[in-house]
Amino acid sequence: MNKAGTKLSKLDQFLVSEDVIEELPNMRVTALERLWSDHNPILLHCNKADFDPTPFRIYHSWFLREGFDDFISLEWANMGQNVDVIHILSHEKLKRLKVKSEQWIANSKSGERIHKQEIMSHLKQLEEKIETGSTSPEDREKENQTYARR
């Protein structure tokens, strides 16, 4: 906004050439929440649709999640017990493990998102109290602890 308050900045637009639009017709824009800034950050997504089968991938970060190692060990052991065939092919086990591990990760991430939303809601309430001047030293300590947990 200019000093007179009559003109807004155009931070919510992208300049894209026609060649880029032809190459990536499925572009989309996502506006993020305004958290600690005076504007909403925006993201430009340029994903190409590919319908090939996805390979089996395990990301290193998954092993940092509590309980993932135990989950994989248990599922791998249970796969051999739940089939009538004496030997199950490893690639079949990997296919099944892929589905189960992706479900486990999705559930884990969902729990983290809920936890993050609770923390953000709590912080917003504390910040509103601070702005109105109705906070106590205990409230400020809670805010510091909440920021430290994130």
pLDDT of res. 78: 83
Predicted confidence (pLDDT) per residue in 31-89, tens digit: 888 777 777 788 888 876 667 777 777 888 888 899 999 998 898 888 766 555 545 67
User: What does the alpha-carbon distance between residue 88 and residue 93 come to, in Å, rounded to a whole number?
Assistant: 7
Is residue 105 pLDDT above 90, yes or no?
yes
Sign of CA dihedral 112, 114, 117, 123: negative
CB contact at 8 A, 124 and 118: no
pTM equals 0.48
Please say whether the beta carbons of 33 and 5 come within 8 A. Answer: no
| Per-residue confidence (pLDDT) for residue 15, from 0 to 100 | 79
Dist. CA 75–CA 96, nearest whole Å: 9
Q: Is pLDDT above 70 for 8?
A: no
Residues in the chain: 150
Task: Kindly list the domain boundaries of the chain, sorted by start residue.
Answer: 7-52, 54-149
Strand, helix or coil for residue 87: coil
Enter the DSSP assignment of 45: E
Tokens of 44: 């430009």
- Is 47 in contact with 26 (CB distance < 8 Å)? yes
Cα 84 → chain centroid: 39
CB 32 within 8 A of CB 41: yes
Average pLDDT over residues 88-103: 83
pLDDT at 126 over 70: yes
pLDDT, residue 87, reads: 57
Flag whether pLDDT at 143 surpasses 90.
no
Strands (E), 12-134: 28-31, 42-45
| 34 three-state secondary structure | coil
